Amino acid sequence: MSLEEVPLFYWTILFVVAVIFGILGFIYGKASPSSSNESSEDIQMLEIANAQLKSDLMACQQKLPSKEKQEDHFKTENVAALGTQATFDPKRAKAAFGKNIKENDLKLVEGIGPKIEGLFHNFDIKTWEKLSETSADTCQKVLDSGGKRYRIHDPASWPMQAKMAYEGHWEQLAEWQEKHRAGKY
């Protein structure tokens, strides 16, 4: 069938469809700029709100004390509130544990015995404070230095226990150790 033989009916349908799509395209094209105008208005409103929030933030930051003052206040507050190692109180420690406690005795930490204490001393970790500042990974390295027989120990809680001892939280430490007897959680 050639183009000359195509019935007029098909040409009419093709023309009507083209006109409809043309009208729809025109309408869509007219609608798009107005929606972009609305979008730009939204963006302007958001920029204004953002500027307002930034100015509020700056005002709040100016009201806050400096970072040094905050840190000093935090340190002073902690020493007063927690009694962090102001003095070692053997009577309170004995009351909590029911036995005499020597200051900086690493064996007080659940899971550390005399041999493991010796390993820590080899790494110059001889106080509760020093052990409390030691990561669990470093504790594991200390254990690894002793050989295969120390693999069964889990030092994850040792820094936390040492911190409780260093800060004089005897009742809390004794209670924690009672709940986690023999290193089992």
First to last CA, the chain: 87
Give the CA-trace dihedral at 109, 115, 116, 121, to 10 degrees: 100
Question: Which tens digits make up the pLDDT trace of 21-34?
Answer: 999 988 888 776 55
Q: Which residues have C-beta within 8 Å of that of residue 89, sequence separation ≥ 6?
A: 168, 170
Half-sphere exposure (CA, 13 Å, Cβ side) for 105?
Answer: 13
The per-residue pLDDT for 100 is 93
* For the chain, domain boundaries: 3-63, 87-183
Tell me the per-residue pLDDT of 65-114, one tens digit each, with 9 for 90 and over: 665 555 555 544 444 444 444 588 999 999 999 999 999 999 999 999 99
Tell me the per-residue pLDDT of 39-76, one tens digit each, with 9 for 90 and over.
Answer: 777 787 787 777 777 777 777 777 776 655 555 555 44
Instruction: Compute the distance between CA of residue 170 and CA of residue 179 in angstroms, rounded to an integer.
Output: 14
> CA 47 from chain center: how many Å?
31
Fill in the amino acid letter for 37. Answer: N
**Residue 181 confidence (pLDDT) above 80:** no
The pTM is what? Answer: 0.53
Which of these, 125, 17, 129, 128, lies nearest to 140 by C-alpha position? 125
